[in-house]
Chains A and B, each alone.
Chain A
Amino acid sequence: MYLETRNVVKQYANHLALNNVSIEVPRATVFGLLGPNGAGKTTLIRIITRITAPDSGEVMIDGTPSKAEDVYKIGYLPEERGLYKKMKVGEQAMYLAQLRGLSKKDAHRELMIWFKRFGIMDWYNRKVEELSKGMQQKVQFISTVIHNPDLLIFDEPFSGFDPVNADIVKREMLRLKEEGKTIILSTHNMESVEELCDNIALIHKSQVVLQGKVFDIRKEHRPNIFRFRLTGSEFDLEHPSFTLLSKERYHEFINLRIQKVGDISNNELVKLILNKYEVVSYDEELPTMNDVFIRTVTK
C-alpha cells in the first residue's frame, strides 16, 4: 500500500464529516474516491494533504505516519481551484513550483518541459486573466505535477475541460501511473472511473460503504441480467428461474433481456433457452459504475 488512512474521524461543529474512514491505495494505481456531494471526500483529501488534521485516526504514507515534509510528495489539484488573476502565467507557475519545494533553476527547467508538452509556451508572459478557463486548467494541472510528486490527488479534474483537453489530462494521468505514481481521482464522472481507476472507495454519509477493485465491484453488483439474441420472430418461454424484462425484434433476430431468479447457474439458464431456440449470442450485463453508485447510495 502506498497510502492508507486508518479509522479517520473528523468532527465539525454540527456534523460528523468522516466516521472511521479507512482506505487503502496501492502503489502505482489510480484510485477512485467516489461519493455524493457532501459525503466527506474533500475533507478526507484535505486530511491526506495535511491541510486539516483528523480528530483521531492516522494517515500512513509509504508505511510511515504522514509528516509535514510529505506535502512535497503530494500534488493536489483541488476542486475549488484558481490562480492569481493579475499575475503573469510564468511567474505564477514559478511561484507555485517554488512553494512546492523546487529551486528556482529546477522549477524553470521543469516548467519549460511542461509548457512545451501542453503547447502553452506562448502564454508564458501573459496575465492569467487573459487566459481561457481551459488554459488556466492546464496551468493548474502543471503546477500540480511540476514537483514530480509520488502521490497525485485530482478533485474533479475534468470539469471545465473540453473533450480534447480532458483527453490530454486522462493520457497524462495514465502516463504518470506508468511512471509509478499513485493517483487519487475524485470525480462524479463515472465513465472516467471505469476508464481510469483500478480501485475505488465509495463514501456515503461520512462512511466508506464500498471499497475494492473496480472490476470486482462491478461483478459483485451484477444484477443477473442477461442479453440473448435468438433467431426467429417469437419468444414465449416461461420458467420460474427467470423473468423476461424486454424483447424486441431486430431484423431476423429477436433481442431479449432476462433477469435470473433464484438459485440457478448461468449454464443451466442458457440450457433452458438453448433447448427451444437457436441462440446467436449471449452475454451477462455488468453494471456501470454509475449503476453501482446510484444503487449503493439510494439503498
Chain B
Amino acid sequence: MNKLGLVIQREYITRVRKKSFIILTLLMPVLMVALTMVPLWLSTLNDGNVKNVAVIDNTGIYATLLKSTDAYQFQVIGASEQRDTESRLGKDLFAILQITEDLHKDPRAVSLTSQKQAPQELQSIIVSVLSEKVTQQKLDDLSLSGNVDMEAITQVRSIVEEGSKVSLRTFRLDSGGGVSESSTELATIIGMLFTILIYMFILMYGNMVMQAVLEEKKSRIVEVMVSSVKPVNLLVGKIIGIGLVGITQLVIWGILMGLFFSGLSFFIASSGQMSAAAMPPEMGNFEIEGMMSTVMSINWLEIGFYFILFFIGGYILYASIFAMFASAVDSEEDTGQFMTPVTLIIVFAFLAGFYSVNNPDGPLAFWTSLIPFSSPIVMMVRIPFGIPLWEKLLSVVLLYGTFILIAILSAKIYRVGILMYGKKPSIKEMLKWVKYK
C-alpha cells in the first residue's frame, strides 16, 4: 500500500474504532429526536387538573358561549355570588373573566384577572369566541337596520361562517416548461436540515483535523513521520481520513433515519387501517399519502448530489485552513487568535443561511451562496427551492477553485509549520514560509 493510503487508513481506523465515536454515532440520532420531541411532548402535557375560570357576565350574552375544554372549566357566576369570587381566586379559581358591557358597543369592556400570568391558550380561546359573537352581533345590527339588502347580509353571514381559509398550493415551473407541485415548508425544512448538517460537520470535523495536526506536533511524532512521508501526503491523508470518518457517520445516520422513518410510516399506516373509523376524517390516509407525495416530489437525487459536492468542498476548504493554523502553533491555547476569525466566518455563513430561508432568491442568499467561504452552508438552503443551474455551477466552481488554492497554500505552510516550535508566528511570517524551498 502506498504511504498516502497508509496514512488515510490509520487516521480512519483509529477514529472509527474509538468508543466515543461509536457511542456518539449511535446515540446522536436518538439524542436529536429526543431533543426535539421531549419539549414538544412536555408542552402538550398540562398539569393534570382542570382550571376553573369564573365568568361574570353583566350582559348575559356571552357567558353561555364559552365551552369548557379539557384544561379549562368555565363557570358562570351570577351577580349575587360576585363578592366571594375574588377571595376564591388562586384557590379553586384560576381566573376571573369579567364582561361589563355589550362588547360590540365597547370592545374593551372585558377583562381577565388571575394570580399567575394567564396562558396564551386561555386568552386565545376567549378572544376567538368573543370575537365571533361580536361579528355576529354586528351583522345582526346591520340586518335590523333595514336599509340593507337581506340577501347580501345572508351571503356575508355565510362568508363569515365559512371563514376565508385559503389553501395555497405552490408550483414550480422549471426551465423545461414542466410544472411540479412544490412545498415551501418542506423545502425550508430540508434546506435547514442540510445546512445544519454541513455547518456541524465543518465545525466538528474541521476541529478534528486541527486536533490531529496539533496532536502530532505536541507528541513530537511529526518529525519522525515526515522523515518517511511527504508533509503533503501527511496532510492530505489526514484530511481525507477524517473526512471519511465524517461520511461514515453520515451514512450510519442516514441508515438509522431511514429505518426510523420507514418504521414510523409502517406504524402509521397499520394503525391507520385498524382505527380508520375512530380517527377524524381529515387525519386519514389521504393526508399521509399527500405528505408522501410531496416528500417524493422533492428532487432528492439533485439535493443529494449537491450536498455531497458542497459537503466535500466546504469540508476540505475549512479543514485546510484549520490544519494550516494548527501547524503553526504549539498548543490549543495558541490557536484562538487564528481560529476565532475562522469560526466567526462559519457562524456568519450559518446565520446567512438561516435568514436566506425566508428569501432564497434575495441578495443576501445570492451573494453568500457564491462566496466560497459561505457557499457550502448557504447553498444547501437554496437548492431545495430550486435555483438556476448556472448559479449552482458557478458556486461549485468558485468553491473548488478556492479550496484548491487554499489547500496548496495550507500544504506549504503546514510543511514548515509542523517543524517549528517555540514562538507563535504572525500571519506575515507564515506567508514567508510559503516561499521556503
Contact = CB atoms under 8 A, between A and B. Distances in A.
A67 to B, nearest CB: 13
B225 interface: yes
Interface string B352-372: 000000000000000000000
Interface string A41-55: 000001001011111
B224 A78 contact: yes
Contact of B419 (A46, A77, A82): A46
A106 B228 CA distance: 17
A12 B419 CA distance: 13
A98 B1 contact: yes
A82 B220 contact: yes
A78 B223 contact: yes
Given A51-B419, A84-B215, A100 B223 contact: no
Contacts of A49: 227
13 contacts: A12-B436, A52-B419, A52-B436, A52-B437, A74-B227, A76-B224, A80-B223, A82-B219, A84-B14, A84-B215, A84-B216, A85-B219, A100-B228
B104 interface: no
Interface in A1-33: 12-13
A98 B226 CA distance: 14
Given A51-B419, A98-B6, A83 B228 contact: no
A96 B437 contact: no
Given A13-B429, A98-B1, A82 B224 contact: yes
B421 interface: yes
Interface in B211-245: 215-216, 218-221, 223-229
Contacts of A87: 14
Given A13-B432, A52-B436, A96 B228 contact: yes
Classify the secondary structure of A's interface with B: loop
B3 to A, nearest CB: 6
B14 A80 contact: no
A206 interface: no
Nearest to A54: B437
Interface string B414-437: 000001010000000100100011
Interface residues of B, number: 25
A254 to B, nearest CB: 54
Contacts of B419: 46, 51-52
A140 interface: yes
Interface in A124-172: 140, 143
Given A82-B221, A98-B1, A99-B229, 4 more contacts: A52-B419, A52-B437, A82-B220, A86-B14
A78 B223 CA distance: 7
B339 to A, nearest CB: 23
A71 B220 contact: no
Contacts of B226: 51
Contacts of A54: 437
Given A80-B421, A98-B1, A100-B228, A51 B223 contact: yes
Nearest to A97: B228
Interface in A90-105: 95-96, 98-101
B220 A80 contact: yes
Nearest to A77: B224
A58 B131 CA distance: 93
Nearest to B233: A99
Closest 7 CB pairs of A and B: A82-B220, A82-B219, A78-B223, A76-B227, A53-B437, A82-B221, A80-B220
A53 B419 CA distance: 14
A299 B429 CA distance: 34
A95 B10 contact: yes
A81 interface: yes
A96 B14 CA distance: 15
A53 B6 CA distance: 24
Nearest to B3: A99
A140 B224 contact: yes
A81 B217 CA distance: 10
A29 to B, nearest CB: 22
Contacts of A76: 224, 227
A99 B14 contact: no
